Amino acid sequence: MTASSPDSPHGPGSALPLPDGSAPGPDFTIKGNAGSMLFHPPSSPYYARTKAEVWFRTAEDAVAAGFSAHTPRRRTAG
């Protein structure tokens, strides 16, 4: 395994957010949360409210870095 640079903290296809939290480029569209190791594609209902701690180019890049796709939990009546 090769060492990642500070700009790609989770391997190839990852990058740190810009100082304002935005994506480092238009090809980075997947938001990752390093604390939970979950990622959110633009189709996620939580995408807009998620603050990216790391950005990925593709969902495959996020999975390769050990992140999992966020899946909403079903609420049960109780």
Q: What is the pTM of this model?
A: 0.83
Low-confidence ranges of the chain (pLDDT < 70): 1-7, 74-78
Structure tokens at 19: 């100082």
Distance (Å, rounded) from C-alpha 57 to C-alpha 13? Answer: 5
Structure tokens at 2: 């090769």
pLDDT of the residue at 2: 39
Q: Which amino acid is it at 72?
A: P
DSSP H or E segment with residue 60: helix 59-64
Where along the chain do its domains lie?
A: 14-69
pLDDT of the residue at 71: 85
pLDDT of the residue at 72: 75
